[in-house]
Amino acid sequence: MTRYNIKETEEKWRNYWEDQKCFEATPNKDKEKYYVLEMFPYPSGRIHVGHVRNYALGDVVARYKRAKGFNVLHPMGWDAFGLPAENAAIDNNRHPGEWTYENIAAMRVQLKAMGLSLDWSKELATCHPQYYRHEQKMFLDFLKKGIAYRKEAIVNWDPVENTVLANEQVVDGKGWRSGAPVERKKLNQWSLKITDYAEDLLEGLDTLDRWPEKVRTMQSNWIGKSQGLQFKWDLVGSDEQIDVYTTRPDTIFGASFVGLALDHPLTEKLASGKDGFDRFKSQCEAVGTSEAAIEQAEKIGFDTGHKVKHPFIEGLELPVYIANFILMDYGTGAIFACPAHDQRDLDFARKYNLDVKPVVLPENEPNLTIESVAYTGEGKIANSEFLNGLSIEDAKSEIIKRIEDMGRGQGTTNYRLRDWGISRQRYWGCPIPVVYRDSDGACIPVPEDQLPVELPEDVSFDKPGNPLDHHPTWKYTTCPETGEPATRETDTFDTFFESSWYFARYCDPRNESEAFDADKANYWTPVDQYIGGVEHAVLHLLYSRFFTRALSDCGYLKTKEPFSGLYTQGMVGHVTYKDEDDKWVYPKDVVKNDDGTFTHAQTGKPVAQGKPIKMSKSKKNVIDPQDILDTYGADAARMFVLSDSPPGRDFEWSENGVDGAWKYINKLYRIVSERLDNLPEIDAEYSGTFSDGATKLRQKSHQTILAIAEDIEAFHMNKMVARIRELSNMIEAFKASDAGDFWALREAFEIMTICMNPMIPHLAEEIWKMIGHSTPLVDTSWPTADETLLTSDTIDLGVQVNGKVKATITLPKDADQSVAQEVALANDHVIRAMADKTMRKFIYVPNRIVNIVVG
């Protein structure tokens, strides 16, 4: 018997699929389309296990849908702009473009080795001018439509390197390279008006019924729609007013101070020059710009000494503080605080000894006192004059009405969502196609016929900051309108810009005159199944939804929602290892000893095993999938990443697992190759009877057809693996002796092969050929299950006594209660369990359970 030659066989089939162009897709109105897309990778240099998992998962769907008769589009490309390329440029003196294209070439080879059913003719790279020229055009269209605009925004500024830092480059409030405390800096930057679409993006979530509930919830919370009141407080001894926004107008009588954001327009006016303000300001500015950093920072404030008049309590004046936890981007950048019913306000009030007056009392606690925990629950209003006794909701309406009558403000809808800042002070991104005329500073869009504005090749990363800005000539140009000297915008787009429309570009990736042909895009989009990491649940997915709407509004396509189905996979983790010097060690350099301890393979020194965490290069707990592909082959690698965990959950890499998958691949080959004798011809008729064993096998085969289809549709790939194993276990145990047996065996082989094809396509093709087929499996459609074989005549069901299982009985399917009762009560175990007690109740759920209540 020949052994399965994995390397040779897998390569043979990959070449076949490629030569036959099996996966090249073209629009075809006669067929139902199905667009499968996995989030495209950043070309970091090597694929990682997370990629293998993501693409194996998508490939199961793509191959399954193809077998189900759909016209499948399944493309691949590269999210090629981004920071790591610039870091490589700085660290290794490589040009970002060169580095990126090399990485793409290397990763393409790796992905191809996985045997994915990808249409490589649609491949794209976002760093290519033929890609980004179209998004420059989109930007110009957004500009015309008022979707793009300029405003001041705050960035992390490294004062030593004179450069803007990404949030991830800020470590403990310091620049990651310089170690200098980060400062906040205001820059004039481009933004997109995603807030104009807030309501539509929120409502659209209801239509996304094939998205995970959790992602929709996260997006909904991110958009953060709230109903509230915006109204003005009069500043004592001044004409100034402070416009605040609150979602709790009902607590107005519990207000103890008014707070302003540090960058609120009034802040400087009220506080500058005051004792300690500069110190307070620098304390606030030392905290990074990320919301997490701001929220977790200690709440501090500065008393401006100014007071405002309470709108309803005659003579009451409240202090005005500047506080670090108030965000200029939310509401009006000013609040009134009711410490009794808001935790942040309470923490602040305790710190600065401000009043805490409860104004909402829970029904059962009329003497509520607040210590260190604010009361945010339901209740009735108290200590609030005309509001006393009202519910929270009624009090809100009442206050809004009175404020509106006073002409002091109005009830408003507010969103937490902020506009999308798209300017980046970096080289490796798409240039923003505008110039600034030197004479008057006017911002002039680059005319469409001058696109693309290409990145210069000759850049240096010798000094920190944006190389485009340092470039000797690139930014100096002329005004397209007047011909006067002008300076190019040196900022580039946020890389989320590229990933917001790539799925549409795949529909027509070589189009030079436009981003994509509308007919083609309207045929393929929306993406029917999008698959990627849950870490993209909010930003990338929300930006893409917005972008698609904006493109629709600019006439690019008709689609509103880019992804009608979404699946989010979990992270891939691995245990970590550290040596005696607390340095991370690669798993492949660790040897496990017989006593369970670990030592370093080279040095022989002891190594400590740490808990599994998300794979990352810095922790060295990475596995190179290339080693797996080389050693075990693509099918084993694919099978392993699909089999061990449900795809939605985090997944922990283990060496044993791949080994098990590899053994199984070999075993499958053996099972089939040892049973090829006496198989009937393909499509041979059989009208005789079947042995019991053959009937059981046929039942299992047909149940498997349905079970696997259901598993795939529900993304239960780990269960799919179990089903295949169950079927192959049964085939292995089956001893065929008569014609019916061999007929059933061929049927089982065929069903098993088609069903396992989405997961392990190379072996499936090979087996398909072994059992005599001359047409390829890739063109074979999914079988139909024979309904009559799906159920059996008898059911084993459990018998409980007082809710505890005591016995198992066998009943005819759908047996009557009288039959069930008779059989159950005759069972020895049941008799013993009931002992001398009397039956109070007999519960029978046909085909499910019997429960006898005794007492």
Q: Which residues inside 612-631 make contact with RNA, applying CB under 7 A?
A: 613-614
Q: Which residues inside 31-60 make contact with RNA, applying CB under 7 A?
A: 42
Region of 691 please: left (phi>0), alpha (psi -120 to 50) or beta.
Answer: beta
Q: Which region, judged by CB under 7 A, interacts with RNA, from 55-63, 630-638, 765-773, 844-852?
A: 844-852
Binding of RNA by 667 (CB under 7 A): yes
Nearest Cα to Cα of residue 253 among 392, 384, 400, 390: 384
Q: Which residues inside 544-583 make contact with RNA, applying CB under 7 A?
A: 571
Q: Which residues inside 222-281 make contact with RNA, applying CB under 7 A?
A: 222, 224
Q: What is the per-residue binding string for RNA in 703-722, x denoting contact by CB under 7 A? A: -------------x-xx-xx
Using the minimum distance from each CB to RNA, give the nearer residue, 247 or 718.
Answer: 718
Interacting residues of 677 by C-beta distance below 8 A, sequence separation 6+: none
Using the minimum distance from each CB to RNA, give the nearer residue, 753 or 800.
Answer: 800
Token pair listed for 248: 């709790």
Binding of RNA by 643 (CB under 7 A): yes
Using the minimum distance from each CB to RNA, give the nearer residue, 537 or 585.
Answer: 537
Using the minimum distance from each CB to RNA, give the nearer residue, 13 or 325.
Answer: 325
Q: What angle do CA 181, 182, 185 make, to 5 degrees?
A: 145
Binding of RNA by 10 (CB under 7 A): no
Cis peptide before 526 (omega within 30 of 0): yes
Nearest Cα to Cα of residue 736 among 772, 691, 688: 691
Number of residues forming the site for RNA (CB under 7 A) = 103
Using the minimum distance from each CB to RNA, give the nearer residue, 399 or 639.
Answer: 639
Amino acid at 473: T
> Is residue 646 packed enough to be buried (19+ CB in 10 Å), middle (13-18) or exposed (0-12)?
middle
Using the minimum distance from each CB to RNA, give the nearer residue, 110 or 156.
Answer: 156
Please, what is the minimum distance in Å from the beta carbon of residue 416 to RNA? 5
Cβ-contact 731, 748 below 8 angstroms: yes
Cβ-contact 494, 424 below 8 angstroms: yes
Q: Which residues inside 734-773 make contact with RNA, applying CB under 7 A?
A: none
Binding of RNA by 151 (CB under 7 A): no
Please, what is the minimum distance in Å from the beta carbon of residue 345 to RNA? 12
Q: Which residues inside 323-362 make contact with RNA, applying CB under 7 A?
A: 329, 343-344
Give Cα 810 to chain centroid, integer Å.
47
Supply the DSSP symbol for 497.
T
Binding of RNA by 725 (CB under 7 A): yes
Q: Which region, judged by CB under 7 A, interacts with RNA, from 111-119, 551-559, 750-758, 825-833?
A: 825-833
Using the minimum distance from each CB to RNA, give the nearer residue, 510 or 804.
Answer: 804
Question: Position of tokens 């993501």?
Answer: 54
Using the minimum distance from each CB to RNA, give the nearer residue, 72 or 767.
Answer: 767
Choice from 663, 676, 682, 792 touching RNA (CB under 7 A): 663
Binding of RNA by 652 (CB under 7 A): yes
> Is residue 183 packed enough to be buried (19+ CB in 10 Å), middle (13-18) or exposed (0-12)?
middle
Binding of RNA by 651 (CB under 7 A): yes
C-alpha to C-alpha distance for 13 and 19, rounded to whole angstroms: 10
Q: What is the per-residue binding string for RNA in 475-494, x denoting contact by CB under 7 A? A: -------------------x
Torsion of CA 540, 541, 544, 549, to 10 degrees: -150
Q: Which region, judged by CB under 7 A, interacts with RNA, from 316-324, 448-456, 482-490, 662-670?
A: 662-670
In 631-758, the DSSP E strands lie at 651-652
Question: Position of tokens 């481009």?
Answer: 190
Choice from 384, 423, 559, 569 touching RNA (CB under 7 A): 423
C-alpha to C-alpha distance for 789 and 697, rounded to whole angstroms: 10
Binding of RNA by 791 (CB under 7 A): no
Please, what is the minimum distance in Å from the beta carbon of residue 130 to RNA? 19
The dihedral through the CA atoms of 656, 659, 665, 667 has a sign that is negative
Binding of RNA by 834 (CB under 7 A): no
Interacting residues of 454 by C-beta distance below 8 A, sequence separation 6+: 129, 431
Please, what is the minimum distance in Å from the beta carbon of residue 487 to RNA? 19
Q: Which residues inside 83-142 make contact with RNA, applying CB under 7 A?
A: 83-84
Buried b (16+ CB within 10 A) or exposed e, 21-48: eebebebeeeeebbbbbbbbbbbbbebb
Longest dimension (CA), the chain: 106
Interacting residues of 669 by C-beta distance below 8 A, sequence separation 6+: 4, 763, 766, 767
Binding of RNA by 797 (CB under 7 A): yes
DSSP 186-239: EEEEEEE-GGGGHHHHHHHGGG-TBS-HHHHHHHHHHH--EEEEEEEEEBTTSS
Using the minimum distance from each CB to RNA, give the nearer residue, 382 or 764.
Answer: 764
Binding of RNA by 727 (CB under 7 A): no
Three-class SS state of 309: strand
Please, what is the minimum distance in Å from the beta carbon of residue 463 to RNA? 18
Binding of RNA by 843 (CB under 7 A): yes
Nearest Cα to Cα of residue 755 among 729, 730, 777, 787: 777
Q: Which region, judged by CB under 7 A, interacts with RNA, from 16-24, 315-323, 398-406, 845-853?
A: 845-853
Please, what is the minimum distance in Å from the beta carbon of residue 242 to RNA? 22
Cβ-contact 65, 36 below 8 angstroms: yes
Instruction: Give the length of the chain.
Output: 855
Please, what is the minimum distance in Å from the beta carbon of residue 825 to RNA? 15
Please, what is the minimum distance in Å from the beta carbon of residue 348 to RNA? 12
Choice from 417, 446, 527, 628 touching RNA (CB under 7 A): 417
Q: Which region, judged by CB under 7 A, interacts with RNA, from 113-121, 767-775, 784-792, 827-835?
A: 827-835
Using the minimum distance from each CB to RNA, give the nearer residue, 84 or 776.
Answer: 84
Binding of RNA by 462 (CB under 7 A): no
Using the minimum distance from each CB to RNA, give the nearer residue, 170 or 318.
Answer: 170
Choice from 522, 560, 829, 846 touching RNA (CB under 7 A): 829
Binding of RNA by 510 (CB under 7 A): no
Using the minimum distance from each CB to RNA, give the nearer residue, 109 or 843.
Answer: 843
Binding of RNA by 152 (CB under 7 A): no
Using the minimum distance from each CB to RNA, give the nearer residue, 416 or 773.
Answer: 416
Cβ-contact 718, 645 below 8 angstroms: yes
Q: Which residues inside 190-209 make contact with RNA, applying CB under 7 A?
A: none
C-alpha to C-alpha distance for 253 and 629, rounded to whole angstroms: 68
Please, what is the minimum distance in Å from the beta carbon of residue 17 to RNA? 28
Using the minimum distance from each CB to RNA, give the nearer residue, 217 or 552.
Answer: 217
Binding of RNA by 794 (CB under 7 A): no
Nearest Cα to Cα of residue 119 among 495, 510, 497, 501: 510
Binding of RNA by 539 (CB under 7 A): yes
C-alpha to C-alpha distance for 175 and 159, rounded to whole angstroms: 9
Amino acid at 208: L
Using the minimum distance from each CB to RNA, give the nearer residue, 399 or 717.
Answer: 717
Binding of RNA by 217 (CB under 7 A): yes
Q: Which region, judged by CB under 7 A, interacts with RNA, from 28-36, 55-63, 530-538, 672-680?
A: 530-538
Three-class SS state of 313: coil
Q: Which region, judged by CB under 7 A, interacts with RNA, from 4-12, 27-35, 642-650, 819-827?
A: 642-650
Please, what is the minimum distance in Å from the beta carbon of residue 630 to RNA? 18
Three-class SS state of 436: strand
